[in-house]
Amino acid sequence: MIWSKMKPLLENFLAPALAGRVGYLSTSYRYSPDKNGQCCIAVDNKKIFNMKDGTTGMKWYQSEQDIKNDAAVVIPLSDAEIEHIRKETGGKVPEERLAVIAGDRKLLAYAKETMAAQVALSKSDFYKTADVFLSQPIENSLASKDILLNCLALLDRRVGKKRIMDMEQSVKMKHPIVQYFYALRRGAM
């Protein structure tokens, strides 16, 4: 789908509280050698989610170690995950270390997913992802591991207040840009 048709569709799906505050921008430079442009989501006329751009003020991780060492990343653990480590180690590990081991494993998995999701952000990927977003149920976009699908779904009017409130714990496991749009949507309710 071409951008001139996609943009109004995306804007029609915006939550009423965010209409006028959030916009989708896309530019192309015809005469540049690689015909690159930029594609971004703007909030209050400020480019917040600029694909592959370090100037947006959003934290883009450079390595898995950056994620593991980021104090802002909080990984919730369940009793079942700790019990799984207990069974896996055969009860030979002290109790206080079980939570540390489970947390480290979960943090490493989160770091790998975040790095993989971050790599696939470009203008052409934005078009493809937006097309997928417009053609699939909102539940699939919310459950996706794709950062952009999550962001578009959080801005969507089909996601109600109760669902936003219920997502509080699961959003902590997402990329900071997804957390930003979650906070924006929750604050606009």
How many residues does this entry show for the chain?
189
Task: Yes or no: say if 57 and 48 are a contact pair by the CB < 8 Å rule.
Answer: yes
Last residue of a domain, one of 77, 97, 117: 117
Assess whether 135 and 46 both reside in one domain. Answer: yes
Give the pLDDT confidence score for residue 32 in this predicted structure.
Answer: 59
Last residue of a domain, one of 117, 139, 160: 117
Assess whether 112 and 160 both reside in one domain. Answer: no
Contacts 24+ apart (CB under 8 A), 93-102: 102/77
Note down the domain range covering 92.
64-117
The pLDDT profile of the chain, 189 residues, written as one tens digit per residue, is 888 899 999 999 999 999 889 999 887 766 655 556 678 889 998 888 877 554 444 556 666 777 777 777 777 888 888 888 888 888 888 888 888 888 888 888 877 777 666 655 666 678 888 899 999 999 999 998 888 899 999 999 999 999 999 999 888 888 888 899 999 999 987
Assess whether 15 and 103 both reside in one domain. Answer: no
Domain count, the chain: 2
Assess whether 162 and 128 both reside in one domain. Answer: yes
Last residue of a domain, one of 76, 93, 117: 117
Assess whether 13 and 56 both reside in one domain. Answer: yes
Give the pLDDT confidence score for residue 54 in this predicted structure.
Answer: 47
Assess whether 50 and 70 both reside in one domain. Answer: no
Give a three-class secondary structure readout of the chain. CCHHHHHHHHHHCECCCCECCEEEEEEECCCCCCCCEEEEEEECCEEEEECCCCCCCCCCCCCHHHHHHCCCCCCCCCHHHHHHHHHHHCCCCCHHHHHHHHHHHHHHHHHHHHHHHHHCCCHHHHHHHHHHHHHCCHHHHHHCCCHHHHHHHHCECCCCHHHHHHCHHHHCCCCHHHHHHHHHHHHCC
Assess whether 128 and 113 both reside in one domain. Answer: no
Assess whether 95 and 149 both reside in one domain. Answer: no
Assess whether 105 and 134 both reside in one domain. Answer: no
Give the pLDDT confidence score for residue 82 in this predicted structure.
Answer: 87
Give the pLDDT confidence score for residue 162 in this predicted structure.
Answer: 93
Give the pLDDT confidence score for residue 12 in this predicted structure.
Answer: 92
Assess whether 48 and 137 both reside in one domain. Answer: yes
pTM greater than 0.95 (yes/no):
no
Assess whether 125 and 183 both reside in one domain. Answer: yes
